[in-house]
């Protein structure tokens, strides 16, 4: 992750982030660690591990699916979150065991009304704009 993006997240604890693409995760920490084992922190990029709590019974807008059964290579325990999934940042800390940063988040609907309000405001402002332009503008406004 770019260093500046990590700084933005660190200064937004308690706030929400919106995914701007599909977000692939694993229920198995050992699988997740395989993706960062050779990565190293430097001035431009930081090693990141997301730890996500999901309570499906409390979510209305987050769409995610266990896709492990649909893959040729089983065992990744992969969960795929849809574009526009919202997460509340719980904590950000350096983890010496990972030799990188751990970002703890929770899937949430908490910020959905604010995001919907921003989209509606932009839709009114840019009435003839495409949905891609509106979504891009929303991400810019949210510093994504």
Query: How far apart (Å, rounded) are the C-alpha atoms in residues 122 and 137?
Result: 8
pLDDT digits (tens, 9 = 90+) for 25-66: 999 899 888 888 888 889 999 999 999 999 988 888 778 888
Mean pLDDT, range 130-135, rounded to an integer: 72
Domains, the chain, in order of start with CATH, read 3-109 (3.90.176.10), 111-143 (no CATH)
How many CB atoms within 10 Å of residue 20?
Answer: 14
Query: How far apart (Å, rounded) are the C-alpha atoms in residues 81 and 87?
Result: 11
pTM for the predicted model, two decimal places: 0.77
CB 65 within 8 A of CB 79: yes
Helix, strand, coil shares of the chain, percent, nearest 5, are 30, 30, 40
Amino acid 44: pLDDT: 94
Query: How far apart (Å, rounded) are the C-alpha atoms in residues 28 and 5?
Result: 25
Amino acid 129: pLDDT: 67
pLDDT digits (tens, 9 = 90+) for 96-124: 988 899 999 999 988 877 777 777 776 77
């Amino acid at each position: 992750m770019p260093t500046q993006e990590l700084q933005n997240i660190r200064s937004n604890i308690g706030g929400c982030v919106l995914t701007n693409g599909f977000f692939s995760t694993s229920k198995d920490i050992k699988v997740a660690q395989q993706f960062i084992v050779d990565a190293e922190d430097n001035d431009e990029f930081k090693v990141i591990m997301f730890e996500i709590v999901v309570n499906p019974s409390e979510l209305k807008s987050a769409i995610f699916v266990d896709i492990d059964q649909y893959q040729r290579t089983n065992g990744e325990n992969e969960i795929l979150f849809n574009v526009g999934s919202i997460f509340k940042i719980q904590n950000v800390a350096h983890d010496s065991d990972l030799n990188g940063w751990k970002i703890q988040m929770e899937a949430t609907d908490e910020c959905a009304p604010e995001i919907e309000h921003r989209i509606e405001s932009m839709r009114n402002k840019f009435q003839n704009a495409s949905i891609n332009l509106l979504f891009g503008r929303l991400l810019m406004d949210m510093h994504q």
